[in-house]
A and B are shown apart, each in its own frame.
Chain A
Amino acid sequence: MNPSIIGQMAVSGALMGLVYALIAYGFQLTYATSKSINFGQGELVMVSAFFSLTLTNLGLPYWLMVPGGLLFGALLGLIVERAGVRLALEQKSEGWILLSIIIGLFFFSAAENIWGRDDRPFPTPISADPIHILGVDITRLELSVAVGVLAIMGLVELFKRRTLLGKAFEAVSADRDAAELMGISATRTVMLSYALSGAVAALAGILVSPITTVGPTMASALILKAFSVAVVAGLDSGFGVVLIGMALGALESLASFYLGSGWREAPGLTLLILALAVRPTGVFGKAVIRKV
Chain B
Amino acid sequence: MLRQAFYGSLLLAALGLHAGDSVKLAITGPFTGGSAPMGASMRDGAKLAIAEINAAGGIQVGGKKLKIDIIERDDEAKNERGALIAQELAAMNDLSGVIGTVNTGVCMAGDKHFQEKGVTKIICPAAGSASMTQWSKAGVKDLSIFRFAAHDGIQAAMVVEEAINRKFTKVAVVFDSTNYGVSGRDDMLNQIKLQGNKLQVVAQEKFNIGDKDMTAQLLRAKAAGAQAVLIWAIGPELAAVSNGMAKIGMKAPLIGGWTLSMSNYIDNAGKNGNGTLMPQTFIEDPITPKAKAFIDGYHKTYKVDRIPSAVAAAQGYDAVYIFAAAVKQAGTTDTHKIKEALEDLKEPVKGVIATWNHPYTKWNPADVTTHEAFRREQTVMGMVQDGRVVFGNAADKARLIKEAAAKPAAKPAKGKTK
Contacts and interface: CB of A to CB of B under 8 A. Distances in A.
B32 A253 contact: no
B247 interface: yes
A9 interface: yes
Interface in A203-218: 211-213, 215, 217
B268 to A, nearest CB: 5
Contacts of A120: 264, 267
Interface in B256-307: 264, 267-268, 270, 272
Contacts of B14: none
Given A118-B32, A119-B268, A257-B216, A137 B206 contact: no
B247 A118 contact: no
Nearest to A136: B248
B81 interface: no
Interface string A109-134: 00000001111110000001110100
Given A119-B268, A213-B268, A221-B210, A9 B248 contact: no
Interface in B209-245: 210-213, 215-217, 219-220, 223, 236, 239, 243
Interface in A184-225: 211-213, 215, 217, 221
A130 B216 CA distance: 16
A116 B34 CA distance: 11
A261 B208 CA distance: 9
Contact of B212 (A118, A213, A257): A213
B34 A8 contact: no
B249 interface: yes
Contacts of B220: 257
Nearest to A12: B215
Given A129-B246, A137-B248, A139-B247, A5 B219 contact: yes
B211 A117 contact: no
A62 B211 CA distance: 27
B99 to A, nearest CB: 22
Contacts of B210: 217, 221
Contacts of B243: 128
B246 A128 contact: yes
Given A16-B213, A261-B206, A261-B217, A121 B267 contact: yes
A212 B237 CA distance: 10
Highest count of chain B CB atoms <10 Å: which of A130, A132, A137: A137
Given A119-B34, A211-B212, A130 B219 contact: no
A93 interface: no
B259 to A, nearest CB: 14
B62 interface: no
Contacts of A215: 236
B106 to A, nearest CB: 16
B249 A117 contact: no
A256 interface: yes
A130 B246 contact: yes
Given A212-B212, A253-B215, A261 B207 contact: yes
Given A118-B32, A119-B268, A121-B267, A253 B246 contact: no
A233 B353 CA distance: 60
B65 to A, nearest CB: 38
Interface string A260-276: 01100000000000000
A91 interface: no
Contact of A117 (B32, B206, B219, B239): B32
B247 A130 contact: yes
A2 interface: yes
B246 to A, nearest CB: 7
Given A8-B219, A9-B215, A119 B248 contact: no
B90 interface: no
Highest count of chain B CB atoms <10 Å: which of A2, A5, A132, A215: A5
Nearest to A117: B32
Contacts of A5: 219, 223
A180 B215 CA distance: 51
B216 A9 contact: yes
A117 B247 contact: no
A213 B236 contact: yes
A177 to B, nearest CB: 45
Contacts of A116: 32
B405 to A, nearest CB: 39
B264 to A, nearest CB: 7
In the complex, the 5 A-B pairs of residues with the closest C-beta atoms, listed nearest first: A257-B216, A256-B216, A117-B32, A212-B212, A119-B236
30 contacts: A2-B223, A5-B223, A8-B219, A8-B248, A9-B216, A116-B32, A117-B32, A117-B33, A117-B76, A118-B33, A118-B34, A118-B36, A118-B264, A119-B34, A119-B264, A121-B268, A128-B243, A128-B270, A130-B248, A130-B249, A132-B249, A137-B248, A139-B247, A211-B212, A213-B239, A253-B213, A256-B213, A257-B216, A257-B220, A261-B216
Given A118-B32, A119-B34, A132-B249, 11 more contacts: A117-B32, A118-B33, A128-B247, A130-B247, A130-B249, A139-B247, A213-B212, A215-B236, A253-B215, A256-B213, A257-B220
